[in-house]
A and B are shown apart, each in its own frame.
Chain A
Amino acid sequence: MGHLGSDVPMRILAIARNTFRENIRDKILYNLILFALIMILSSIALGQLTLGLESKMIIDLGLTSVSVFGTLIAIFIGISLVYKEMEKRTVYALLAKPVHRWEFIVGKYLGLLFTLLVNVVIMAIGIALTLLYQGGTETATFARLLPAIYLIYLSLALTTALALVFSTFSTPALSALFTLFLWIIGHFNADLLQFANLTKSATVGWVAKSLYYALPNFSNFTTLDSRNIIQSAAHAQAIDAGAILWITAYGLLYCCGLVTVAIAVFSRRDFK
């Protein structure tokens, strides 16, 4: 058991590396990247219709593509992360080796996070190249894209963690639905808080407020200082670094919590 404890990081990394390789071999992944790149390039064509807002169009369409396609990748690969291993029964071979179940889950999660990182970086380079091709973009604008891309990546990490939780106990179709619903609900969290403040019933208010804190707040990653993060990037506006730190803390906490839930569920599963 002592031997099992000392190589934990190596085993997690090995699982993560294999997950990444498996994802890269997945054809859906390539299609999504290609589609996202085509969308970014099409922003040049659409930009012609905006009467002088070409750069804004490229940034808006590019960052939205990063977010939408990243979310699709996070959901559709995240939901099959664990389920596929159980379905193909490869999990038996893996768990027969000296690997803890929690290491398996963490390795899977990190592997998909790395896949998403590669995707986001490729798409970000695509946006930068499109802006360079279009010309007339100041260097500061490229720097302003980074906080938006970072926050999009954090939201993708949260979506992946959600998909991972469902993947441990549900079928891919249901997991996709649950994750998608929570992702949508997570954008309306502010309305829950408003409802809690407006309602006259203390119980309803308490329930609404509890839900506000319990549900993943995806609007944290889209709105900063009451400004939309993609808009701030498109208009090259400065972003509060302190707020980004707090959002990072929120994202890390929530992801850790969800991965813990995934581990707890997966550890209790009976594979006999």
Chain B
Amino acid sequence: MSTLATASRYRLWVFTAALLLCSASIKPVQDRVTACLARNPSIDPDLLYFASPGAVRSLSLGYQSLLADLYWIRAVQYYGRREEAARRQVRYRNLAALLDITTTLDPRMMDVYRAGSSFLAEPEPIGAGQPEESLKLLDKGIGLYPDEWRLRFDKGFVYFWALKDFKKAGQVWLEASRIRSAPPWMEGLAAMALSRGGAVETARALWERQYQNSASREVKENAKNHLLSMQVDEMLWTIEFLAGKYAERHGGYPANLDDLVRSGYLKAVPVDPSGVAYDYDPRSGRAVLSPETRVRYLEVPYDYREAFLQKLASLFPK
């Protein structure tokens, strides 16, 4: 009896030791696996097993509402994982198809039309650079919701920002302004876009509207980055302009931005929207964003530097 009890206790110790050993080994082994995989990152085959929205709908067995959510999550992940996207042959080849399937499974997902069209229309590398697909998605939504002004607002945005077709953008916004629920500023926006040369002001107004009205965090963040980038551009051009004015008076560019403050050209040393000082080059009189900046700079596609400098010159006392 005592031998049996000893054997049983011995077995218990062996099993406990084995369990502890296995548990302790899991972490180092998993870390090694992760390290091996990181050395040879797999190339995403970027396959869409079910490309037909109708087929996916038929196979959903009545659960298309949840399936639509899952396809939407997949589309957001497909778009949001930028490192993975950069490894694909075509960055966002299946994005439009994923959004099409999502909106076929559940055509009432307004946020999918709005945020999805933004993902598609944004130029690469931020977005898919597929404004035509973005318009198709929005038209699908407009067909279902003809009285929804926000979809037409987004459609005009795609024409304005991605396709640079200001006239068409103005026409779409004018259509939107005639919808009963449209806000009063829609008509002004249409007028600005339809007038020649109003591109920058319209762009700024658009990003502000998107920032204020969008329910999507990603769309809001993108709008904020565009607004901040315009702010940065204008500040850099202002520094360049003032450094030129300083050089005209003192025979050379200021040694640093403090000189511009001391000479009365600026009230304080300018900082970027994240609070980091700009890097200034005294040889060229130009400033750039510091590498430490937390501003996510997006290049403004409208070249209005000359127009902006002329405006500054007209405001600057002779």
Q: How far is the CB of A45 from chain B (nearest CB, A)?
A: 11
Q: Mark A206-234, 1 if CB is under 8 A from B, else 0.
A: 00000000000011011100001111001
Partner of A53, one of B62, B63, B109: B109
Q: Across the interface, do B65 and A64 meet the contact criterion of CB distance under 8 Å?
A: yes
A50-B62 contact in complex given A231-B106, A231-B108, A235-B108, C-beta closer than 8 Å: no
Contact in complex: B69, A61 (CB < 8 Å): yes
- Return the CB mask of B46-61 against A: 1 if under 8 Å, else 0: 0000000000001001
Size bracket of the A interface:
20 to 34
CB-based contact B216/A60 at 8 Å? no
Q: Contacts A46-B73, A56-B69, A231-B106 given: A51-B111 contact, CB under 8 Å?
A: yes
A98 to chain B, nearest CB (A): 43
Task: Give residues 276-314 of B contacting A (CB, 8 Å).
Answer: none
B61, B62, B109: most-surrounded residue (chain A CB, <10 A):
B62
* Interface residue ranges of A47-81 to B (CB < 8 Å): 49-53, 56-57, 60-61, 63-64, 67-68
Which chain A residues border B108 with CB–CB below 8 Å? 231, 235
Assuming the A-B contacts A51-B216, A52-B216, are A64 and B77 also in contact, with contact meaning beta carbons closer than 8 angstroms in the complex? no
Question: Are A223 and B62 neighbours in the complex by a CB distance under 8 Å?
Answer: yes
Q: Are A61 and B72 in contact (CB under 8 A)?
A: no
B66 on the A face (CB < 8 A): yes
Residue among B77, B109, B215 with most chain A CB within 10 A: B109
B73, A50: Cβ atoms closer than 8 Å = yes
Q: Are B76 and A230 in contact (CB under 8 A)?
A: no
Known contacts A64-B63, A67-B63, A231-B65, A51 near B77 by CB under 8 Å: no
* B65 and A234 form a contact (CB under 8 A): yes
The residue in chain B whose Cβ has the minimal distance to the Cβ of A191 is B58
Which of the residues B62, B65, B76 comes within 8 Å of A49, measured between beta carbons? B76
A184 CB within 8 Å of chain B? yes
Residues of A with C-beta under 8 A to B68: 60, 231
B77: which A residues are within 8 A, CB to CB? 49
Judged by a CB distance under 8 angstroms, whether B196 is at the interface is no
0/1 string, A227-265, CB within 8 A of B gives 1: 011110011000000000000000000000000000000
Given A64-B63, A188-B58, A231-B108, residue A53 in contact with residue B69 (CB < 8 A) = yes
| B218 interfacial contact with A, CB 8 Å | yes
A51 near B62: Cβ-Cβ < 8 Å: no
Residues of A within 8 A of B61 (CB): 184, 187, 222
- B215 touching A230 by the CB < 8 A rule? no
Which residues of A approach B to under 8 Å, CB–CB? 46, 49-53, 56-57, 60-61, 63-64, 67-68, 184, 187-188, 191, 218-219, 221-223, 228-231, 234-235
